[in-house]
Structure 1
Amino acid sequence: MALLLDNNNNASRWFDVDAVPEAYTFLQEFRPGNFETENNKQNSFPVIDLSKLDHSSEEKEETIKKILKSCQEFGGFQVINHGFTEEVIKETISVLKEFFSQLVEEKVYEAKENGWVYLSSTDYANDGVHLWRENIKLILSHPLEDCMQRWLEKPSRYR
């Protein structure tokens, strides 16, 4: 889901986008994505196969090194072969769409009540380009049951 602004900076919510509005488009030289490295080679965002964590200790160690390197050099990575079913992924997306469809006040309240962080980009006048992001940061711990009472209450399906 994304948050769009009309000409009066009033927020509206939407899920399916046919085209990115110009107010949300960075100039080509400021866009994230592929970039040149010191070696002048083209790099793309790392893709890591998590199924290798179940293999030999050598493959497991190599995968962990790739994860660390990707975080250090790119700030993240894409995961494949993670073991989540298509059904779980679709349900997760559905629940998060429901959460982000709530009013901003509800999301902020939920964050304060449960000790997690809600962030959105709202400094439109100073940003020049509207940043297309809205985030929640939840702290998870082991065992999982110990932190479940702090999970989102709305939507109730989240728990």
Structure 2
Amino acid sequence: MPNFKTHVITGILFYPTYFLLYSFILDIANKAFYPDESIILISFFLFVLGSDLPDVDHKFSLINKIFRILLVGIGIYIVFKIRRYFDFFSFFPFRLYIIKTLYIIIGIILGSLIGILFNYITKHRGKWHSPITGIIIGIIMYILKTNSYYIIDYNALFLSLSLTIGFFVHLFLDFHFKG
């Protein structure tokens, strides 16, 4: 089986092809897609992250440790996303920075609990080595990133597909280069 280094290097080398194909397809479809450097950089990191993400279920892998930290960040992000619709602390007479600090703490707790639960219920080469998982992760990424649910957000689609296609690169390597 390919190792961490192989997955990451392959992700790095295949990213330009992904960027070119995505841009070309939107160009042919006559859709405007002009990502700035920050979107391209985030997309690159998501693609490379995706290229090793299926091994996140291995408790001792580097990607698992990185993923646990990302889950804390995602927990914070989810709490702030929910806050847009349900501001649980708005009735307290606190300053805004105190309320935001409370939301950060709740996000840290949420992300940490998700990480503990994740390591408890997953097994290596289980559900994380499935194309369906890659698709679900891409959909979740799109939902978290988009600002519009009525029209296609091509930047959010670009970022979510970066993660998903990187994920599929990993599955391809594992399937075709068994050791």
With the shorter chain as reference, the TM-score category is under 0.3
Higher-helix-fraction structure: 2
Higher-strand-fraction structure: 1
Taking structure 1 as the reference length, the TM-score comes to: 0.24
- Greater relative CO, 1 or 2 (CA 8 Å, sep 6+): 2
